[in-house]
Amino acid sequence: MSFDIAVMQAFNGISLFTILLLMSLGLAIVFGLMGVINMAHGELMAMGAYATYLTAKVCEHLLPGWWLAAYLFIAIPVAFAVTFAAGYVIERGLIRFLYNRPLDTLLATWGLSLILQQTYRSLFGAQEVSVPLPGWLAGAWEPTADMQFPLNRLFIIALTAVVGIAVYWLLYRTRWGLEVRSVMQNRPMASAVGINTARVDAMTFALGSGLAGIAGSVFTMVGSTNPGTGQLYIVDAFIVVVFGGVQSLLGTALSGFAIAESQTVLEYLMSGSMARVSILALVIVVLYFRPQGLFASRTRS
């Protein structure tokens, strides 16, 4: 393997890693911190993608041409806002009745995901929709003849870094984050010291959903969206979270990185499907030796 190919492989791995991380960050909060198995997480990503698609359409029709170049900077906050609101409604209307019944959240959110899929089909049709890539994100940066870094991938990497840092700051450097962490660790005790746990739950779930929306919005840059898109992502996202060890956002990030890099390396050596099978088998084996995931936090509970 020449140096250039090695660099490109590493880049592809990082590119896949950022996508996995965006997919699973919201889930890590909802599943890892709250213990809610949200099978509709993929559909929330699709919601973000559709919100982006609609924003692009609106920009195309209403705003002067040069706005189209900047629509992503409108679309990402819009996708976040839409899915944040949806998550809030879902938590208040459904999830809050099912705390401490994790397997029931799974069934209920599966039903919800069917409803959401049907909604997308009714609103947008069964076909794929895609969003035009702004001109400044097309093409690639080519430092040498054999190295090409697609600009949209670079943008995704930068955005993931921003989102990751923002989530870290929110959860570990703000008062609200402190409340979230205390509620997740010990709900009755947090409630006893005067934290409004119901509000914290709703906001946390909404934040997780909003992150799914950002992920969905970003995915429109690499692929098209159809009503079933969400189901493609959901299992991968769960595997990343469980592999990393729930309750550990750092674990989620590291497990996403490990999975993405090994996937790209294996894909270089064998067929895509066999690479995927090997990764999944590897994850199952690792979970056998470390049932709580790679980076489980040590607790007595």
Q: Is the Cβ of residue 170 or residue 198 nearer to other proteins in the bound state?
A: 198
- Indicate the SS3 state at residue 227: coil
Count of CB atoms situated within 10 Å of the CB of 27 = 31
* Packing angle of the helix pair 249-269, 229-244 (nearest 10 deg): 110
Q: Is the Cβ of residue 5 or residue 277 nearer to other proteins in the bound state?
A: 277
For the purposes of burial, counting CB atoms within 10 Å of the CB of 77, is it exposed (0-12), middle (13-18) or buried (19 or more)? middle
Q: Is 138 in the site for other proteins (CB under 8 A)?
A: no
3 state SS for 177-222: HHHHHHHHHCHHHHHHCCCCHHHHHHHHHHHHHHHHHHHHHHHCCC
Q: Is the Cβ of residue 72 or residue 95 nearer to other proteins in the bound state?
A: 95
* Range in contact with other proteins (rule: CB under 8 A) among 4-12, 133-141, 204-212, 284-292: 284-292
Q: Is the Cβ of residue 158 or residue 274 nearer to other proteins in the bound state?
A: 274
Provide CB contacts within 8 A for 256, sequence distance 6+. 17, 20, 21, 24, 240, 244
CB 245 within 8 A of CB 294: yes
Rounded to the nearest whole angstrom, what is the least distance from the CB of residue 101 to other proteins in the complex? 8
- Residue among 96, 121, 181, 187 that touches other proteins (CB under 8 A): 121
- Residue among 63, 158, 222, 281 that touches other proteins (CB under 8 A): 281
Q: Is 125 in the site for other proteins (CB under 8 A)?
A: no
Residues 213-252 that bind other proteins (CB under 8 A): 231, 235, 238-239, 242
Q: Is 299 in the site for other proteins (CB under 8 A)?
A: no
Q: Is 123 in the site for other proteins (CB under 8 A)?
A: no
* Range in contact with other proteins (rule: CB under 8 A) among 115-123, 185-193, 196-204, 218-226: 115-123
The residues with which 147 forms a beta bridge, in sequence order, are 144
Q: Is 35 in the site for other proteins (CB under 8 A)?
A: yes
- Residue among 20, 25, 39, 260 that touches other proteins (CB under 8 A): 39
Residues 159-178, one symbol each (x = binds other proteins by CB under 8 A, - = not), give --------------------
Alpha helices in the chain (DSSP H): 3-27, 41-62, 65-69, 71-93, 102-124, 151-172, 175-185, 187-192, 197-219, 229-244, 249-269, 272-289
- Residue among 83, 117, 220, 226 that touches other proteins (CB under 8 A): 117
Q: Is the Cβ of residue 131 or residue 275 nearer to other proteins in the bound state?
A: 275
Residues 50-109 that bind other proteins (CB under 8 A): 94, 97-98, 101-104, 106-108
Query: Cα–chain-centroid distance for residue 295?
Result: 19
Backbone angle region of 64, left / alpha / beta, with phi > 0 → left and psi within -120 to 50 → alpha: beta
Q: What residues make contact with other proteins under the rule CB under 8 A? A: 35, 37, 39, 94, 97-98, 101-104, 106-108, 110-115, 117-118, 121-122, 231, 235, 238-239, 242, 271-274, 276-277, 280-281, 283-284, 287-289, 291-292
